[in-house]
Amino acid sequence: MTVYLKDIPLKQAQERFYNALVENNLWKILRTESIPLDENAVGRVLAEPVWARISSPHYHASAMDGFAIRSAETIQAMPTSPVILLSPDQTQYIDTGDPLPDWADAVIPIEQVEALDQQGKPANELRKPTSIRIRAAATPWQHVRPLGEDIVASQLVLPAGQVLRPVDLGAAAASGHTHLFVAARPQVAILPTGSELIPIGQPPARGDIIEYNSIVLAGQIRQWGGEPTRHPITFDDFDLICQRVQHAAESSDLILLNAGSSAGAEDFSSKVIEHLGEVLVHGVAVRPGHPVILGFIHHKTSGGKIRIVPVIGVPGYPVSAALTAEIFIEPILAHWLGRPAWDPAVIQANLTRKITSPAGDTDYVRVVVGQVGEKTLAAPLARGAGVITSLVRADGITILPAGTQGLEAGSSVQVRLYRSANDLFQTIFAIGSHDMTLDLVAQFLAGQNRRFISANVGSQGGLVALRRGEAHLTGCHLLDPTTGEYNVYAIQQYLPTMPVRLITWVNREQGLLIRKGNPKGIVDLTDLVRSDITYVNRQRGAGTRLLLDYHISQLHLSLPNIKGYTQEEYTHLGVAAAIASGRADCGLGIPAAARALDLDFIPLYHERYDFVIPHSHLSGDLLNPLFDLIQNPEFRSAISSLPGYDLSQMGNIIIP
Amino acid sequence: MTVYLKDIPLKQAQERFYNALVENNLWKILRTESIPLDENAVGRVLAEPVWARISSPHYHASAMDGFAIRSAETIQAMPTSPVILLSPDQTQYIDTGDPLPDWADAVIPIEQVEALDQQGKPANELRKPTSIRIRAAATPWQHVRPLGEDIVASQLVLPAGQVLRPVDLGAAAASGHTHLFVAARPQVAILPTGSELIPIGQPPARGDIIEYNSIVLAGQIRQWGGEPTRHPITFDDFDLICQRVQHAAESSDLILLNAGSSAGAEDFSSKVIEHLGEVLVHGVAVRPGHPVILGFIHHKTSGGKIRIVPVIGVPGYPVSAALTAEIFIEPILAHWLGRPAWDPAVIQANLTRKITSPAGDTDYVRVVVGQVGEKTLAAPLARGAGVITSLVRADGITILPAGTQGLEAGSSVQVRLYRSANDLFQTIFAIGSHDMTLDLVAQFLAGQNRRFISANVGSQGGLVALRRGEAHLTGCHLLDPTTGEYNVYAIQQYLPTMPVRLITWVNREQGLLIRKGNPKGIVDLTDLVRSDITYVNRQRGAGTRLLLDYHISQLHLSLPNIKGYTQEEYTHLGVAAAIASGRADCGLGIPAAARALDLDFIPLYHERYDFVIPHSHLSGDLLNPLFDLIQNPEFRSAISSLPGYDLSQMGNIIIP
């Protein structure tokens, strides 16, 4: 029985699989089809070049509303000695686009002629004069679009491999086409497997996993030009999976088995592929996504022939699944469609914090990228393969090649961008203390062409980030125990030389989050030292933790007696989740977090939560939409619907 | 009767129209709808934020295949003094994703334990041991994905205005959603009008214009998130157009009337809109695209209410139509969908040649952009509003603001990119002499992740471009009349200090292109001075023109006696088109151009057509796919199918 996968390097895995595709004559455009030339062709890939069948224009056309003339008859025309041309022998009115009469070789725009009637007076009908008077010579072919000005019959209009855009369709139509030869969409079957899976919409019991990888994979396949088919969930049953795979093979160019690709008790994917065909690769040295399987099945067609159908065992963790698709499936679809593979823009950025990497693996680190002053920064996101939100938030991927042990904060890295580099300049980096209103800020600013990215490192961490020039602003609630004032002393300590504005954001309550109904009868901080109470703390440098420490020392409580004091969470919601799940009994936090997870709340303190903003970031217009929110009634009412907030001081400038 | 439009500045036109939309409560998301959460949601725009309904994971889940344990019971474990935990009270095997038992607080991966049977020997079934032996302490919560690790119930998962990507669907599903509230697709009716229009597929007679603007517009609308409806062509009939517009209004949010937006004899659009509603703007100071109409019609609904439906009179020239859509329609759709308006990446580039601009107009200049060495270059494309291929070729747009008279070659301009900035580094700039094989090169390289852009400025112009560092290579066929050698002398003259490689591309015939059947009985160059013969020439600096001049002087022919000597075309196909259309009787050129337009050909000379490549562009891998073509049998056979080419010297290196 295999327990461990044998991870091989990424490049080797790709080569082994793609070479097998080449050998089986599957590394080219799979099928072509002729489709009508209409708006539905946008995004399809040309399988053959478009050569012009006709010229455009296909005749000499007037480029203006005006009069067709023979240029030779106008040579003498001057302002002081005009030339008169008679209609219809010497001149004829034509609209833009009309064909030039055979005898004519130029057009004079209507606004440059005097149209005359039979008496030689200004004609009533400008376009049907008896004659026209002109006062300047016309040059041959002026204001004429000669035959073939745009397209000459037989020339290349669009190359094969072109991903069709709206204007391409125009050029193809102009050159005489009514249909286009494009690559047929590759058919990709997606088979979710796993007894623990439930479809979306079914209320999940403990241990149930909502099956959504198939939706993400189907969206990716569609986006890359393939046609996905999502099959129903299959339980972990070897025979049943074999049967479903064989059935899917009938109408598929590629089969994705998700998941069961690891080596757990019920991971059948590799056995199924082995049984129906051949496993080429099981395990790739890439994180996330290492338990990937690359192989083939031999499908017997109705005609009795054996057809080779590639199969990919896609890992079950959502980030692994999405990245596996990007790494292995997109390039295959590119070849099957005859278009260039995805080639993201790459920028250079500096890491905001240290990252470690398992030696030997190619490591895909999701990062948020932003421009703070002169610096382009890449902030690593959660590394867990289960954290789909890390891909949602990611602006790009930094690839640490196999062999890299990790990188220090400040290291220069290349980032493969998911977004346009332009977007990075619309990103506000808020690094500091967590508050529930930051979610609302992100929500409201999204409609204003701003992305608001908050990294929760605590108030002190935020001030350090400002000092390093790695954030546009910091949310901060640091109590000076000697004066009872907030933030001013901390700014003097952390940012002695940096001019910053300190502006009040909200006043908020802090207190103890406890389970509904307060089953352990907690009253205040003195309960923390009870032996039956487990606390959940915020991380070092968080204002909430400093608040706790301050009051613990005021109450002369013994730190070692507080169980769970070293159990750290990075957000108020994290603390709330720990209590809701039973991992802890209480934690200091804000009432909005308690309400979010249906906990009870014991109010204890009030505190001021401010924004600290370096003057250097106030000059541009990046932050203006944020400041506008302070007066936005919808935004204020959204905050007021959360418990424990007081907006009466919002926008007060403490340090100008 | 209005003959002239009154052009107003672009900004003013946009403001007037958009303000009217605001006043009529049409400057917001028009309608929302709930759609199922599946792959079809990709590209839709969220009308409401997605807040998490449940946490993900929604229970504490094992992050590994391994054994659930109580970390407190492992504290003593060391390599030399292992701890033994009994199943099922102290340990229990769980797969990745399984819920952690209530009593456990950590997981030890299966590969880090020794599974034992009843006798204390290695167990046969690793996952069902009697006990496990461990040799290292576990930390609390190790290898556990705590409840809410990815998403905590109630947090913001996706903001409103998000254009949905595959991973977004995953996050929405993970947080408990089955449907998404998105903006409904705005309905846009496209009405092509014009008696001269014919649908694609109908063989065009002289004066017929193939109607394809509606396809381009429909493609754009679809791409920007709207739902286009293409109506049939309407003849120029005031009443009929009124009727069709009213009918379209019933089911449309926006009506596009194309064209009839100018002030010609049969331009009814403004009268129709005036009749059914109100014209706000007729004429915008922007080129191409100035005869645009912005207005409203008052549509009486079946319920008897008056509904305001915006109407845009889109100019008829294809480039004008496509740019009008980009300038006026895309921002409206963005508002109706609640997403950010298109905000292209902008780069700085240097113009390769002078451009002039009509004063007072905002000028949209299509450019090809490429990177040549250190320089980012923008080469202006054909300016004509009828040249749809200029949009097909364009990498971006340079906007010359109103008031700019033009810009000199070398000027630094901003380019709004249609492509990813990455693509620009895959672009080969070939500036120089025209040859029919360059189309084939473009076609073959498109499949190799290279764009091959050829600008036809003649051989001499190409050498000048190399000298200025504005091209990667030049196609060149310059005969030295004194030696009969090709290109070497010209390179010495034009590029005395630049190290270049000279490599033979093709040998080709040159001769006279004449109409089919040779109706004027042309025999050779001496016929050019006949009074009944009109010649069409290549532009100054073209090798073909120099070839002509050389032989004219050899034959002692009188230049002034050659009619049409000053009539210049920039390509062989241009010369062929001039002859095919009757604008000229003959021209010097290559046989492939004659065959392309079904002309006859009188062979006269053989010549060598070489590539000149500066050494500095040979170091990277940009040009490698081009060199690979020389040995590519498919490519060689494609050239051989053109008449008049000899490939026996292809790839010969003349100057290393």
CATH code of residue A443: 2.40.340.10
Same domain, B154 and B37: yes
Judge whether B173 is closer than 8 Å to chain A, CB to CB: yes
Rounded Cα distance between A234 and A241, Å, is 7
Q: How far is CA B240 from the centre of its chain?
A: 37
Residue B447 pLDDT > 80: no
Same domain, B159 and B101: no
Q: Which residues contact A492 (CB under 8 A, 6 or more apart)?
A: none
Same domain, A375 and A301: no
pLDDT at B257: 96
Q: What is the pTM of this model?
A: 0.91
CATH (domain of B154): 3.90.105.10
CA dihedral B478, B484, B488, B491 (to 10 degrees): -40
Residue B424 placed within a domain: no
**B107: burial class by Cβ within 10 Å (0-12, 13-18, 19+)?**
buried
| Contact assessment for residue B601 and residue B513, using Cβ atoms and an 8 Å cutoff | yes
d(CA A599, nearest CA chain B) in Å: 12
Judge whether B626 is closer than 8 Å to chain A, CB to CB: no
CB contact under 8 A, B98 and A196: yes
CB contact under 8 A, B173 and A344: no
Helices (H), B480-542: 488-494
Residue B434 placed within a domain: no
Q: Is the dihedral of CA A57, A60, A63, A64 positive or negative?
A: negative
Judge whether B389 is closer than 8 Å to chain A, CB to CB: yes
CATH (domain of B537): 3.40.190.10
pLDDT at A265: 62
pLDDT at B4: 46
Q: Out of A95, A161, A439, whose CB is closest to B266?
A: A95
Residue A385 pLDDT > 50: yes
DSSP secondary structure letters along B534-570: -B-EEPTT-HHHHHHHHHHHHTT--GGGSTTTT-EES
Residue of chain B with shortest Cα separation from A263: B65
What are the respective helix, strand and coil percentages of chain B, to the nearest 5?
Answer: 25, 30, 45
CB contact under 8 A, A262 and B65: yes
d(CA A310, nearest CA chain B) in Å: 22
Alpha carbon distances (Å) from A141 to A73, A409, B393, B567: 13, 66, 26, 10
pLDDT at A3: 40
pLDDT at A263: 66
Residue A470 pLDDT > 50: yes
Most confident of A432-436, A521-525, B569-573: A521-525
Same domain, B472 and B546: yes
* β-strand pairing of B66-69 with A600-614: unpaired
Q: Which residues contact A243 (CB under 8 A, 6 or more apart)?
A: none
Same domain, A171 and A292: no
pLDDT band at B126 (very low <50, low <70, confident <90, very high): confident
Same domain, B137 and B235: no
The tokens for B213 are: 């603007």
Write out chain B residues lying below 8 Å of A397, CB-based.
none
Residue of chain B with shortest Cα separation from A42: B219
Portion 178-207 of A in contact with B at CB < 8 A:
178, 196, 200-201, 204, 206-207
Same domain, B354 and B290: no
CB contact under 8 A, B318 and A38: no
The tens digit of pLDDT for each residue in B134-180 reads 999 998 789 999 888 899 888 889 999 999 999 999 999 999 999 99
Residue of chain B with shortest Cα separation from A203: B176
CB contact under 8 A, B63 and A96: no
Write out chain A residues lying below 8 Å of B388, CB-based.
56, 150-151, 167, 170-171, 174
CB contact under 8 A, B447 and A54: no
Residue A193 placed within a domain: yes
Beta bridge partners of B299: B307
Computed over every residue of chain A, the mean pLDDT equals: 92
Same domain, A265 and A367: no
Write out chain A residues lying below 8 Å of B156, CB-based.
439-440, 442-443
Same domain, A137 and A203: no
Higher pLDDT, B356 or B494: B494
Closest CA to B542 of B467, B628, B472, B479: B479
CB contact under 8 A, A577 and B147: yes
Q: Which residue has the tokens 């949601």?
A: B41
Q: How many helices (H) and strands (E) does chain A have?
A: 16, 38
Q: Which residue has the tokens 């157009």?
A: B241
CB contact under 8 A, B152 and A573: yes
Residue B433 placed within a domain: no
Judge whether A57 is closer than 8 Å to chain B, CB to CB: yes
- Last-in-domain residue among A313, A337, A361: A337
- Which residues form the domain of B235? 10-27+185-337
DSSP secondary structure letters along A222-242: HHTT-EEEEPPPB-S-HHHHH
Residue A5 placed within a domain: no
Pick the residue of B39, B220, B393, B426 with the most A CBs within 10 A to test the interface with A by mutation. Answer: B39
CB contact under 8 A, B442 and A159: yes
Same domain, A104 and A216: no
Q: Which residues contact B159 (CB under 8 A, 6 or more apart)?
A: A442, A443, A446, A447, B46, B49
Write out chain A residues lying below 8 Å of B515, CB-based.
none
pLDDT at A406: 86
* β-strand pairing of B114-116 with B83-86: unpaired
Q: What is the ipTM of this complex?
A: 0.90
DSSP state at residue B151: B
- Last-in-domain residue among A315, A337, A359: A337
Residue B194 pLDDT > 60: yes
Q: What is the mean pLDDT of residues A22-42?
A: 97
Same domain, B500 and B614: yes
pLDDT band at B2 (very low <50, low <70, confident <90, very high): very low
Q: Out of A3, A49, A174, whose CB is closest to B443?
A: A49
Q: Out of B54, B178, B388, whose CB is closest to A201?
A: B178
d(CA B228, nearest CA chain A) in Å: 9
pLDDT at B264: 65
Residue A249 placed within a domain: yes
Q: How many domains does chain A have?
A: 5
CATH (domain of A259): 3.40.980.10
Q: What is the mean pLDDT of residues A565-594?
A: 89
Same domain, A247 and A303: yes
Residue B426 placed within a domain: no
CB contact under 8 A, B340 and A204: no
Rounded Cα distance between B150 and B144, Å, is 12
Residue of chain A with shortest Cα separation from B387: A150
pLDDT at B272: 95
Q: What does residue B473 show for φ and ψ, rounded to 5 degrees?
A: -160, 165
Rounded Cα distance between B25 and B587, Å, is 62
Residue B354 placed within a domain: yes
| Contact assessment for residue A322 and residue A216, using Cβ atoms and an 8 Å cutoff | yes
Q: What is the mean pLDDT of residues A608-622?
A: 94
Computed over every residue of chain B, the mean pLDDT equals: 92
pLDDT band at A5 (very low <50, low <70, confident <90, very high): low
Count of beta carbons in the 10 Å neighbourhood of residue A72: 11
The tens digit of pLDDT for each residue in A142-160 reads 999 988 889 988 888 999 9
The tens digit of pLDDT for each residue in B573-630 reads 889 988 988 889 999 999 988 988 889 999 999 999 999 999 999 988 999 999 999 9
Q: What is the mean pLDDT of residues B204-233?
A: 96
- Last-in-domain residue among B394, B419, B444: B419
* β-strand pairing of B114-116 with A645-646: unpaired
Residue B541 pLDDT > 70: yes
DSSP state at residue A340: P
